[in-house]
């Protein structure tokens, strides 16, 4: 199955480079490009891609606002947002994931890492660069927005004890195979628990499970 990608960046040279990289792969293709946030939202609504690669600093509507608008739209639920930016700051990482982004990556990564990131996000997994993950967990997700901690904790009551345990391991950054080894379960069983937690918490993907786990206090840095 071909991964359908929209690119959003206000630098034409980068757009062209990213497009060449993606279109050189047999398993993905660029179906639209955008030069600002408003164009990005319009492109996603028109084409319904699997992934949109989103820059943050763009004229008019920026990438964070565009991400929030896309993720609020239930009709676009199947589109994953991968933030790719030069400005890999703690606050940007936190805002991006709270807005609903599935991944956050710096523009200094290699071509192979960039392409693998698109595949990872398209598969429904969360993706953060190592520096982004460390700073995010320690500084921002542990400080939820006012009024959300109680509601997030209450939401976890719908999970079984095993689902809460698996969610905690997801928040720690473990893969399904790693969780399976920790809990002496099969990877498919772990995957089932993850999917049930996603459904019960109405989370788009594993990235949102991470946010909920920290905001609820299930996991602490």
**CATH number, domain containing residue 66:** 3.40.50.2300
Q: Is the pTM here over 0.85, yes or no?
A: no
Fill in the DSSP letter of residue 5: E
In a domain, 188, yes or no: yes
Structure confidence at residue 24 (pLDDT): 94
Domain count, the chain: 2
In a domain, 171, yes or no: yes
Structure confidence at residue 128 (pLDDT): 62
Same domain flag for 192 and 93: no
Characterise 71 by phi-psi region: left (phi > 0), alpha (psi -120 to 50), beta (else): alpha
Q: Mark which of 86, 113, 139 sits at the end of a domain.
A: 139
The strand order across the sheet containing 3-8 reads 28-34, 3-8, 51-54, 80-85, 103-106, 127-128
Same domain flag for 39 and 117: yes
Q: Which of 139, 157, 137 is nearest to 211 (CA)?
A: 137
145 pLDDT above the threshold of 80: no
Fill in the DSSP letter of residue 144: P
Same domain flag for 108 and 153: no
132 pLDDT above the threshold of 60: no
The residue assigned the tokens 């700073």 is: 135
Residue-wise pLDDT for 32-75, tens only, equals 999 999 999 999 999 999 999 999 989 889 999 999 999 999 89
In a domain, 27, yes or no: yes
Same domain flag for 88 and 187: no
* 46 vs 14: which has the higher pLDDT: 46
Q: Alpha helix (H) ranges present in the chain?
A: 12-23, 37-47, 63-72, 90-99, 111-122, 130-139, 148-155, 161-171, 176-183, 187-200, 206-216
Structure confidence at residue 138 (pLDDT): 52
Q: Mark which of 118, 139, 160 sits at the end of a domain.
A: 139
CA of residue 100 relative to chain centroid, distance: 7
Structure confidence at residue 30 (pLDDT): 97
Same domain flag for 17 and 125: yes
Computed over every residue of the chain, the mean pLDDT equals 84
Same domain flag for 130 and 174: no
Same domain flag for 83 and 166: no
Instruction: Yes or no: say if 97 and 142 are a contact pair by the CB < 8 Å rule.
Output: no
7 pLDDT above the threshold of 80: yes
Residue 29: pLDDT band with limits 50, 70, 90: very high
**Boundaries of domain holding 198:** 148-216
Same domain flag for 120 and 30: yes
């Amino acid at each position: 199955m071909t991964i359908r990608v929209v690119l959003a960046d206000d630098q034409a040279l980068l757009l062209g480079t990213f497009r060449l990289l993606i279109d050189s792969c047999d398993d993905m293709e660029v179906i639209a490009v955008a030069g600002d946030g408003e164009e990005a939202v319009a492109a996603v609504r028109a084409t319904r891609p699997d992934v949109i690669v989103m820059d943050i600093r763009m004229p008019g509507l920026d990438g964070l606002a565009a991400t929030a608008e896309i993720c609020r739209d239930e009709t676009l639920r199947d589109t994953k947002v991968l933030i790719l930016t030069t400005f890999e700051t703690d606050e940007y990482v936190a805002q991006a994931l709270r807005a609903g982004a599935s991944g956050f990556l710096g523009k200094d990564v290699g071509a192979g890492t960039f392409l693998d990131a698109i595949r990872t996000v398209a598969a429904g997994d969360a993706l953060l660069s190592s520096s982004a993950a460390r700073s995010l967990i320690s500084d921002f997700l542990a400080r939820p927005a006012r009024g959300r901690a109680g509601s997030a904790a209450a939401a976890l009551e719908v999970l079984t004890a095993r689902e809460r345990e698996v969610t905690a391991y997801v928040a720690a950054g473990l893969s399904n195979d790693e969780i399976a080894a920790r809990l002496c379960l099969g990877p498919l069983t772990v995957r089932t628990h993850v999917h049930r937690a996603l459904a019960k918490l109405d989370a788009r993907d594993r990235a949102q499970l991470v946010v909920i786990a920290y905001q609820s206090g299930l996991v602490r840095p």
